[in-house]
Structure 1
């Protein structure tokens, strides 16, 4: 059970989003929200106080006062006015969005009633997941609005493997629809929830991806590399990046090499020699992104912010610039890891070391792994075409919202790059499996592949297939390579 108290960890988000861990709202969070809500009620009941986001229009309509009898309709209209289009988002991304929004409310500076956060958590526990479309929003507004519509019984949801109206799913679970009160529609729509929620899931994936890259690179080195001194711990002493140290350590662990006191006799290609620098740089940016997410997961990201003493601040806490910049940096670093993996795959298929050209004994009859290498190169080019989002400006009409942080666009780009590069590393691993099988056959020795290293994919094949590559990609993201490292020194 995860207690939502205005401060989550990345692991909390992963547990709720992917493992469907149950959630509850902390009693202290209820008290904080009630105190902030009282300040909103005081504004609404005042005869002469007009406050943006409480009893006015939004954005460019901020000078329009909303009468008390129209406030509920106004709040519901604001979440109806934002749309998403395209294919539905994955369920784990939707769950992460719901959790992060409830947690931001739990900080107690949003001015919403506790029941709004409680209702989001009820939907999570019941497995009622709003259908949120993946495109049409550079910021979080549309994604969050789709979640908010489910609370008022509108839009479609998935529930027990069926698609139905939100109202029907709520009725089946005995959950009442909400009648939104002043401030609550904007609070559900605004703020960052999709961006940090999805980014929290992605940094988990990138952690697994970079470890898979270290393992794949180490195994490739064991096949075609010559000079292990490039991975010596002494190198990290004179350029002490922690990312380098971790990647170099994993490479030494997997290969079982002694990289100390080397007298260099040759130089390997940079795709082998620079692995700890390239992979390590991704680890550095990953640590930065994780730090930013940790801060975001204990933040109130609303506009306006409403404090229990009645102070109200119109601000830009909904802007996700720091997260979009972090996502862009990760996307660029992941792309480079994909590039270097593709180059290592090229070394394997070119017939270096004791390996036959194209990783086949039947050159001329078939092309072996050559076409799969074409796919890896194409995927690397595809990843490189993803543009940065954090430096863009999506200017919208009416003047008020003239810049955006573009956090949602940045994390969507990162998700695309992570998927693409995972396939590249999967192809490198496929080549490694094939190479070891061929060497085993040539030398008439026992297999040097660790027993639980993708054992079900250890099969005779000349031409790679889509099913095989997808299966390896799944193993990269489910943590399999982390579990096999203990046995990898058999290679």
Structure 2
């Protein structure tokens, strides 16, 4: 299936599909006329004598240097090659696909002044699977993601490197094998390709999609931990959350109620329970995870706007003037990434406390120490809990805001930058950590629920436990655990745990 993009109204669902499944994308052809009009205006300026930034001048601190019309194409080629200064491991192919799709959307708005030839080449690369090798480091998030986007643009010129059918090839070889022709960049086209926020935005979107998937899974494991600890569902009563009014809190409490509905374990202690209140990690799930959900939803709106934005410079405006501005500054994306990091940190922090509760016989209401069937002879899930604590602490350290850490670059011409790119890139590691924390809680809570037999948990949570047990068997005696933890983490990361419960229970991102 090919996704047709309508610049200005591309939805998060389309972008999430591109990220998770790798579907190719094309622009709606109704936008061709606007693209052609802007390209004609740039060509007109390039043929004239009046200096216009980025078209017939140098770049950044060199903007005062006028470039002869005969050298305009060389200027664009030099720009791309000189900006290929990325370092580090290549970004994952699904991230680069998303970058390319976002670049299509931006160019499709008809304000960048590129020819349709460039748009068609990006579409062809997505269709054929020519994915540029884009090093992960080198952008400060203004003037756009220059270095990473230059590596993408270089492949379009037949330079640099690309992946094609699991091979790492030169850009020229990858295009040739795919039956595609490199472009010779015209006036402003190199600048239009690299002067934007698409790398930062793609990384932030990936972090958002992954964080939301983990947040949904945390509701399943949180409900399961509640039953394993014989906790009360009374704090999830709808009136409590309506009285406060936060939508994320209301939606989270509703999900927890649905997940615990018809639990025999819960019914067994609904009367005569000696405990007046559960610890916060059980009782305050709607308040904590709901606040995180609200934060992710707010960020989703910001990133959806940015995904549809024109962020290069200068721009061809509606009156056909060409004006230099600063849309390449990725401050909104940097703030969004910082907010996602906070939510990821907190989802993991409260989940880790539930893990700690279940393995502690002083808190777990009758469960054996470390959920071992013969504690002492067996250590059970003792060190799995320690691992979850290590991951939680690592996420705390990485949650420090990146957006406040500006530094001047380019001879002080670009004297305030957003740091959006690495602020968003850290979300990949943070969400990996979170998938593992939630995976460990899945193993811990499932083991705890099984100790409550013959009492049964709810039908929804029974389905979730069945999904867990399809990849990790019950822990009867101590065994090599690393593979179990990885399998549980993979179940969360793939969405398999979420798919085990009924559709409509888990709160969605777009609300």
TM-score, with length taken from structure 1? 0.93
* Alpha carbons 2:236, 2:254 under 8 Å: kept: yes
* Alpha carbons 1:71, 1:181 under 8 Å: kept: yes
Deviations 1:37-68 (A, max 9, x none): 11111111113x11011110111111011112
- The SS at the match of 2:377 is coil
Q: 1:488 to 1:330 in 2, by over 3 A?
A: closer
Aligned to 1:482: 498
Query: What is the CA–CA distance in structure 2 between the aligned matches of 1:412 and 1:304, rounded to whole Å?
Result: 27
* Alpha carbons 2:315, 2:322 under 8 Å: kept: yes
Aligned to 2:420: 407
Matches within 5 A, 1:32-51: 32-47=34-49, 49-51=50-52
Deviation at 1:445, TM superposition (A): 8.2
* Alpha carbons 2:228, 2:446 under 8 Å: kept: no
Aligned to 1:68: 69
Aligned to 1:26: 28
Deviation at 1:254, TM superposition (A): 1.0
How many residue pairs get aligned? The number is: 485
Deviations 1:373-425 (A, max 9, x none): 11111111100001211111022141110011222122112222111111111
Q: 1:300 to 1:488 in 2, by over 3 A?
A: closer
Deviations 1:280-301 (A, max 9, x none): 0111111111111221222211
Deviation at 1:329, TM superposition (A): 1.0
Aligned to 2:4: 3
Aligned to 1:245: 250
Deviation at 1:244, TM superposition (A): 0.4
Matches within 5 A, 1:77-92: 77-82=78-83, 83-92=85-94
Query: What is the CA–CA distance in structure 2 between the aligned matches of 1:323 and 1:395, rounded to whole Å?
Result: 19
Q: 1:135 to 1:2 in 2, by over 3 A?
A: same
Aligned to 1:200: 205
Query: What is the CA–CA distance in structure 1 between the aligned matches of 2:72 and 2:351, rounded to whole Å?
Result: 56
Query: What is the CA–CA distance in structure 2 between the aligned matches of 1:294 and 1:361, rounded to whole Å?
Result: 49
Structure 1: unaligned runs, 5 residues or longer: none
Aligned to 2:471: 457
Relative to structure 2, which stretch is displaced further, 49-58 or 292-301?
A: 292-301
Matched, 1:300 2:300: no
* Alpha carbons 2:368, 2:375 under 8 Å: kept: no
Relative to structure 2, which stretch is displaced further, 331-340 or 1-10?
A: 1-10
Aligned to 1:311: 321
* Alpha carbons 2:201, 2:333 under 8 Å: kept: yes
Deviation at 1:469, TM superposition (A): 1.6
Aligned to 1:150: 155
Query: What is the CA–CA distance in structure 2 between the aligned matches of 1:268 and 1:288, rounded to whole Å?
Result: 30
Relative to structure 2, which stretch is displaced further, 461-470 or 283-292?
A: 461-470
Aligned to 1:360: 372
- The SS at the match of 1:485 is coil
Aligned to 1:185: 190
* Alpha carbons 2:247, 2:294 under 8 Å: kept: yes
Deviation at 1:319, TM superposition (A): 1.1
Query: What is the CA–CA distance in structure 2 between the aligned matches of 1:210 and 1:273, rounded to whole Å?
Result: 17
Matched, 1:378 2:360: no
* Alpha carbons 1:145, 1:188 under 8 Å: kept: yes
- The SS at the match of 2:67 is coil
Query: What is the CA–CA distance in structure 1 between the aligned matches of 2:480 and 2:235, rounded to whole Å?
Result: 32
* Alpha carbons 2:35, 2:113 under 8 Å: kept: yes
Deviations 1:234-290 (A, max 9, x none): 01121111100111111111111699x999960111111111111001111111111
Query: What is the CA–CA distance in structure 2 between the aligned matches of 1:262 and 1:444, rounded to whole Å?
Result: 16
Aligned to 2:440: 427
- The SS at the match of 2:163 is strand
Q: 1:487 to 1:367 in 2, by over 3 A?
A: farther
Q: 1:488 to 1:472 in 2, by over 3 A?
A: farther
